[in-house]
Structure 1
Amino acid sequence: MQELNELLGQIDSMIGGSSWFIWALLGTGIFFTLYLGFPQLRFFAHAIRIVRGKYDRSDDVGDTSHFQALATALSGTVGTGNIAGVALAVHWGGPSALFWMLVTAFLGMTTKFVEVTLSHKYREQAEDGSMAGGPMYYMKNKLNMKWLAAAFAVFTVISSFGTGSLPQINSISNSMATTFQTNETIFGYNFTMVSTGFVLAIFLALVIVGGIKRIAKVTEKLVPAMSIIYLIGALAVIFYNAENIIPSFTAIFADVFTGSSATGGFLGASLAFAINRGVTRGLFSNEAGQGSAPIAHASAKGHEPVSEGMVAILEPFIDTIVICTITGLVLLSSGVWNEKHHNTFQRADLQILSGKYSDTSTEHQQQLAKHLSKETPLPLFNGQIRTENGVAQDANVTVINARSVAEEITFHRDGQPLTEAIAIKDGLPVDATVLVKGKSLVHSAPLTAIAFTRGFFGEYGKYIVTIGLLLFAFSTAISWSYYGDRAMTYLFGSKSVIYYRIVYVVAFFLAAFTDTTIIWTFSGIAIALMTLPNLLGMLLLHKDMKGTLKEYWANFDKEYPQETRKEVEEKA
């Protein structure tokens, strides 16, 4: 697993984790924001009226309403990115990473407007009668770049696992295990995680077999319900820690251009790292530019592609600017983000270094930070650690877990503390059945679950995260199965979808008890692979987009003379 994680990490560093990918994403958003005159601001109120059905026609062609398409797309974005992804961004890049998530969302509102408009404009009717759309169709039908369309479709299938299946169930199962604190195992894996994956995999299969119409009916009910539950729990934490609200905002903006300083168990993060993790987690959260939401919106009933694009403007705002900001305030105001907590260390997060290092020493902090950034690696321990009742005896080592110096470390096997000499190679126990426990920083869903216990609901708050994450992540997995089957339909026809769904459900189950860090690293690669061809296609069609927008307003002025474009923008 460690070797696999290192390999995936190297690949990610060249694609999704690279600076050029970050600026390709932000640059596209900046270009279209300026080129189209800040549509995310001018058309915001108009988008709300479209969602409410004010301009609907009885003869509009499609499978879902504007609201159902919005709910389906939101269910694909409002998921682990809002709960686990924000916690991961703060864990990696500190509070300033949240600022870059918000920047990504603001620009992403325009990016989504463009990609959804183009995809809706060039959609087709599939052989089974349903509407099929997405970036692959404008790449084929307008750009005549079938090779790019095929590449995007293949990457969509890969990303359906990397975005929609694997990280969703992994976050759910980890949250369940953290909430209920179970130690029982089955086949060497946590029983709660395995059983959670099995039960939800069955439910997933039952939903996705019904296609987009059943998915839309489920998501239009799940999205509002899960948002209300989550917001109640989050506000209970924020207002319970009201005195920390202003300091939390200060922390977000204070280190925007310097990177986050070391504090508590957090060893600090450079500006480049904070930007990188803020943008990549922002992309994972709202998927603006990734090309996924256009597939859902292509099913919407409508006679004007621009109207559906305007609906998409609302998604990054709801998903990232509202929900992710609230999650960030929960993490910062509760103070849990830089505290060490008791947990079981995952091998991909674990390193045993030769020598003693302390996170209270400025010199050691700098050395450890450079080690974690791989700028100046420190020597890993090779040898044996002698333990008695789980506790290491006189070992000249430092245990690093989740980018922090671990404390109160104990070694276990089959739930029992060990009294033996444990062989260590390249910083990890040779025997993979040896579990290491202790206090360290935590990340992803478990960190958010801990934060929710610091509010009016006390320990019951973690159940809100578990329920919210269950609904958020499960609905995301549902929506992404649809994105994947549309890509399979494009590549191999409708008959291929059943085989894809089987693999999707099986992978969903297996990811419930797979190492979290590996899952998230693979996710970053998959997202980048899907995003790059979409950004290229959008930029090549920038004139087409502007012409389509002009045509929309010309038709709008004729059809609704009492509500001109100027009045629409004034209302916004």
Structure 2
Amino acid sequence: MEKFSQMISQLTGIIWGLPMMLLLLGGGIYLTFRLKFFQIRYLPHIISQTFGKMFAKSNAPGSVTPFQATTSALASTMGAANIVGVPVAIALGGPGAIFWMWAVALIGMATKYSEVLLGIHYRQKNEEGEWVGGPMYYIDKGLGWKKAASFFAFALMIEIVASTMVQANSIATTVKGSFGISPVITGVVVMILVGLVTYGGIKSIGKVSERLIPLMVVLYLVSALAVLFVNISEIPAAFALIFQHALTPISATGGFAGAGVAAAIRWGLARGLYSNEAGMGTAPIAHSAAKNNHPAKQGFWGIFEVIVDTLIVCTITALVILTSGAWTKIGPNEASTMVTKALEPVFGASLSGMIISTALFFFVITTVIVIVYYGEKQAEYLFGTAFSKVMRFVYIASILIGTIGGLKFIWQFLDLMLACVVVPNMIALLFLSKKVRTITNDYFTKLSRKSDLKEQDDSNAAS
């Protein structure tokens, strides 16, 4: 069994090294060129349609508001990658890794936009009258690859069993360490919470995530900004470190072992790709339920996700670590504690631990709620709505198993199954890039016509 575990570990290490980085990064670059860098050219318009309309109501077809769909998708990306992943990137790649995290975010915007756009374009109503979509639908309906769509759906359905266990174990470990509560009690409480929310479907999930995700982001950011306020004089130097060491090595200092340019690029790209989940195919499953009258408009919310997750939250985390000096005092093996240590001078050791533990707890709770929904939709695509309810019970049961550390051998397949999800999705995005460009051009052509008509009306009114 040990040899088998080592073989799986080596295989996933190879897959999630250069091959996966080339697929995700290369695919994002191709889509960026294919769409003529629209995420940069039209950024002001994209921001006005997302940040500017977060609480706008819509009568367009769909089950939840665009913002609810986005917070549901954000629920599966916000959390450990932002609070723990960023310190790991800095510990192993140096401050310059953050520059490459930003770079991959700009590229990932095109990927996330394309996923969400296709999810809306190829969505359909299920037996219960809800809008459903995602990679399994655009692979099937857009390319006619039924077997590939079923492979994606089956791989994601199984992957979520392992993912739920890992997330649940993370919650149990955090709660036990911070509050001394038994993992079994934590498991039962989480099971009940997840069961109650997921029972109401995407509408219930949307309402919960719409309130909980912004609350948790604000809690974390306010705590982080308090640290930055105390260390405000160090912020320019922190940005200087990021830009300077993106292309030049940095020597060892304190607990930091030093890093070359290759390490900065490798860890910045890896953490960036993992953080925003662009290309993984999960976000469009949530977005496909959104009320929207044009696929491109919902695609902008995919870009909104990347901005919030990577360019805002991850950047704030990085600045907290760099300005506080925590990255020079703590070694790579304890990198996950950097944010807590950075908060300690402002909030004290006890309160800092509670802030981070509470934020992680609720981030992970919302993640579990959303990925259970994702798993249900895969089961529904493969076997119908009745079987999706069966899988819901499987996922909820796996929460308790995960909290007590059971069936750990299944966890070993997590990265391998995730690769089976990413590969067909990215290939489909590349083959459907022409459709993405056509729909995008349609939106901006109509927008341009509206602008021209408005100018004519204003000119006539003036005359």
Instruction: Please list the CA deviations of residues 363-405 of structure 1 after superposition, one character each: whole Å capped at 9, or x if unmatched.
Output: xxxxxxxxxxxxxxxxxxxxxxxxxxxxxxxxxxxxxxx86xx
Structure 2: segments with no counterpart, 5+ residues = 456-463
8 Å Cα contact 1:50/1:66 also seen in 2: no
Q: From 296, 302, 316, give the equivalent of 1:326.
A: 316
8 Å Cα contact 2:94/2:245 also seen in 1: no
Match of 1:84 in 2: 84
**Partners of 1:114 and 1:335 in 2: how far apart?**
39
The Cα RMSD (Å) is 2.9
Length-normalised TM-score, structure 2: 0.88
Note closer, same or farther for the CA distance 1:230–1:53 as it changes in structure 2 (3 Å cut). Answer: closer
Q: Following TM superposition, by how much is the alpha carbon of 1:139 offset from its aligned partner in structure 2, in angstroms?
A: 0.9
8 Å Cα contact 1:79/1:168 also seen in 2: no
Q: 3-state DSSP class of the match of 1:531?
A: helix
**Partners of 1:256 and 1:116 in 2: how far apart?**
31
Q: Following TM superposition, by how much is the alpha carbon of 1:474 offset from its aligned partner in structure 2, in angstroms?
A: 1.2
8 Å Cα contact 2:55/2:67 also seen in 1: no
Q: 1:224-303 maps to which residues of 2 (within 5 A)?
A: 224-257=214-247, 261-269=251-259, 271-303=261-293
Match of 1:531 in 2: 422
Q: 1:141-156 maps to which residues of 2 (within 5 A)?
A: 141-156=141-156
Instruction: Please list the CA deviations of residues 243-294 of structure 1 after superposition, one character each: whole Å capped at 9, or x if unmatched.
Output: 4433433333333235654443344455444433332322222111111111
Match of 1:309 in 2: 299
8 Å Cα contact 2:83/2:314 also seen in 1: yes
Q: Which amino acid aligns with 2:393?
A: I
Q: 3-state DSSP class of the match of 2:289?
A: coil
Q: Following TM superposition, by how much is the alpha carbon of 1:458 offset from its aligned partner in structure 2, in angstroms?
A: 5.2
**Partners of 1:173 and 1:220 in 2: how far apart?**
24
Match of 2:458 in 1: none
User: Which stretch shifts more, 89-98 or 209-218?
Assistant: 89-98
Q: Which amino acid aligns with 2:438?
A: G
Match of 2:168 in 1: 169
Match of 1:491 in 2: 382
Structure having the higher helix fraction is 2
Q: 1:368-379 maps to which residues of 2 (within 5 A)?
A: none
Match of 2:461 in 1: none
**Partners of 2:110 and 2:14 in 1: how far apart?**
27
Q: Following TM superposition, by how much is the alpha carbon of 1:221 offset from its aligned partner in structure 2, in angstroms?
A: 0.5
Q: 3-state DSSP class of the match of 2:267?
A: helix
Match of 2:397 in 1: 506
Identity %: 37
Q: 3-state DSSP class of the match of 2:329?
A: coil
Match of 2:95 in 1: 95
Q: Following TM superposition, by how much is the alpha carbon of 1:145 offset from its aligned partner in structure 2, in angstroms?
A: 0.9
Q: 1:375-524 maps to which residues of 2 (within 5 A)?
A: 441-444=333-336, 446-456=337-347, 459-514=350-405, 523-524=414-415
8 Å Cα contact 1:260/1:274 also seen in 2: no
Q: Which amino acid aligns with 2:31?
A: F
**Partners of 2:427 and 2:327 in 1: how far apart?**
37
**Partners of 2:410 and 2:170 in 1: how far apart?**
10
**Partners of 1:3 and 1:258 in 2: how far apart?**
40
Q: Which amino acid aligns with 1:499?
A: V
**Partners of 1:158 and 1:92 in 2: how far apart?**
32
Q: Following TM superposition, by how much is the alpha carbon of 1:93 offset from its aligned partner in structure 2, in angstroms?
A: 3.3
Q: 1:14-93 maps to which residues of 2 (within 5 A)?
A: 14-16=14-16, 18-51=17-50, 52=53, 58=59, 60-93=60-93
**Partners of 1:449 and 1:475 in 2: how far apart?**
21
Instruction: Please list the CA deviations of residues 103-158 of structure 1 after superposition, one character each: whole Å capped at 9, or x if unmatched.
Output: 22111111111111112101111122111100111111121111221122123224
Question: Quick check: 1:130 aligned with 2:116?
Answer: no
Instruction: Please list the CA deviations of residues 56-95 of structure 1 after superposition, one character each: whole Å capped at 9, or x if unmatched.
Output: 763x211011111111111222122111222333344333
Report which structure shows greater RCO (CA 8 Å, sep ≥6).
2
Note closer, same or farther for the CA distance 1:230–1:107 as it changes in structure 2 (3 Å cut). Answer: same
Q: Following TM superposition, by how much is the alpha carbon of 1:99 offset from its aligned partner in structure 2, in angstroms?
A: 2.4
Instruction: Please list the CA deviations of residues 190-239 of structure 1 after superposition, one character each: whole Å capped at 9, or x if unmatched.
Output: x5444333322221122112211110010000111111111011112223
Structure 1: segments with no counterpart, 5+ residues = 183-190, 341-401, 404-440, 565-572
Q: Following TM superposition, by how much is the alpha carbon of 1:534 offset from its aligned partner in structure 2, in angstroms?
A: 1.2
Q: Following TM superposition, by how much is the alpha carbon of 1:102 offset from its aligned partner in structure 2, in angstroms?
A: 1.7
Instruction: Please list the CA deviations of residues 470-522 of structure 1 after superposition, one character each: whole Å capped at 9, or x if unmatched.
Output: 2222112211111111111111111111222222223333333549x999975
Q: Which amino acid aligns with 1:205?
A: G
Q: Which amino acid aligns with 1:471?
A: F
8 Å Cα contact 2:63/2:291 also seen in 1: yes
Structure having the higher strand fraction is 1
Q: Following TM superposition, by how much is the alpha carbon of 1:10 offset from its aligned partner in structure 2, in angstroms?
A: 0.7
* Structure exhibiting the larger radius of gyration computed from Cα positions: 1
Q: Following TM superposition, by how much is the alpha carbon of 1:549 offset from its aligned partner in structure 2, in angstroms?
A: 1.5
